[in-house]
Amino acid sequence: MNDLLPLIADKYNYWIYIVLMMLGLYAMIGKNNLVKKIIGMNIFQTSIILFYVSIAYKKGGTLPIIMGDAHGGGHAAVHAADYINPLPHCLMLTAIVVSVATLGVALALAIKIYRQYGTLEEDDINHQIRMQAGQ
């Protein structure tokens, strides 16, 4: 018990990642408004980026920029253990750009749906579609 509690408390990044991910999933499934669903999708995406950045973090590590003076400091030995891992950062840079692209497409589709049906509520749209099919 004595060493289990710090083990859980030290990994608070991952607990918050799980909380944010479930928040986004709930919004995508449970919310009725289309814009709220899109905001939930974006929260889901940022939670995954938080997970990858947490993987890369090292306690006591410095930024992934080579330290040294202006004259050939780069020739000094580079200890990878001193630096935060930059590979997940590069991957997540791409994910941020993809997330803003999906946000733009989703909002454009929501605007088209609003022009067609006059509402953003999912149950109203389903009702109108059912009425049209029943005629």
Partner 1 sequence: MTLPIDLAILTLVVISGIGALAVKDLLGASIVFSAYSFLMCLAWASMGAVDVAFTEAAVGAGVSTVFCVAAVFHTTRRTKD
Choose, by CB under 8 A, the member of 1, 5, 7, 40 that binds partner 1. Answer: 40
Specify the stretch interacting with partner 1 by CB under 8 A; choose among 35-43, 74-82, 125-133: 35-43
Under the binding rule (CB under 8 A), the answer on residue 36 touching partner 1 is: yes
Cβ atoms of residues 46 and 20 within 8 Å: yes
In sequence order, which residues have a C-beta less than 8 Å from that of residue 28 and are 6 or more positions away? 37, 40, 41, 44
Question: Within 10 A of 120 (CB to CB), how many other CB atoms are there?
Answer: 17
Cβ atoms of residues 40 and 26 within 8 Å: yes
Choose, by CB under 8 A, the member of 20, 25, 41, 48 that binds partner 1. Answer: 20
Q: What is the DSSP letter of 103?
A: H
Binding interface with partner 1 (CB under 8 A)? 12-13, 16, 19-20, 23, 27, 31-33, 35-36, 39-40, 42-43, 46, 49-50, 53-54, 56-57, 61-64, 84, 89-90, 92-93, 96-97, 99-100, 103-104, 107-108, 110-111, 114, 119-121
